[in-house]
Amino acid sequence: MSESPNIATLAAPLADPARARMVTLLMDGRARTVTELGQATGLTKASASEHAAKLLAAGFLRAERQGRHKYLALASPEVARLIEAMMALAQPAPGVTKRFGPRDPALREARLCYNHLAGALGVHAYQSLSARGFLAHAPGGLDLTPKGHAFCRDFGLDAQDLAPARTPLCRDCLDWSERQSHLGGRLGRLLLARMESLNWLHRRAESRALSITPEGRRAFALTFPAG
């Protein structure tokens, strides 16, 4: 008997188009009720509940109850990374001209990948940090260099948030539209939160797209110059 990980069992719950649509909807990091997921996917509440139960049992989703409502969200950042990578590798539907990523220009430029920045801006930031020696690419994984720590502190991040912890500080995440890596991990989340606090980016209702302000566009170019 093979001792290899059972990839088929892991991937099986996502083979249904409705369940695949559900997890992609949750890639913006927001939690939703079964009713909301059903409305977004064109399913009845009963059918949406059945699909959601399978995703919960498989470990792709987590549930949290608040008052009378139960909210569903992606189970972890690792699940989000898996979904983003699968979206990047997926083939288009039959009869559709092959094009990587979303058609919406706003989604292609800047979007949420669970809790960090994706799209052209996310890839650009990753490449800028790498080119300036702020990220260390090693066999053991991605890490922040001493120069990178200094940059992050100057950017307004708390040194305590950058300290070693159980969850990785830096992670490569294959971008859906750019087919290159953007930055995930705790640092990806911290950088996005800082950009939002500086009024560079704004989240949109019911969309993964992020709006970049004129001030944010100028500041982003200065903070993350091309390598």
What pLDDT is attached to residue 37?
Answer: 93
The pLDDT value given to residue 59: 93
- Evaluate whether 167 touches 157 at the Cβ level (below 8 Å): no
Positions in the chain short of pLDDT 70: 1-5, 91-101, 227
Helix axes 185-197, 146-154, angle to 10 degrees: 20
Q: Pairing between strand 210-212 and 201-203?
A: antiparallel
pLDDT at site 121: 97
Tell me the pLDDT tens digit for each residue of 153-179.
999 999 999 998 888 899 999 898 888
Residue 61 phi/psi, 5° resolution?
-120, 160
> Domain coordinates of the chain in residue numbers?
7-75, 105-223
- CA 110 – CA 119 distance, rounded (Å): 5
Q: Which CATH class is domain 7-75?
A: mainly alpha
Distance, in Å, from the CA atom of 97 to the CA atom of 103, rounded to the nearest integer, reads 11
Contact 122, 199 (CB under 8 A): no
Stated pTM of the model: 0.76
pLDDT of residue 1: 47
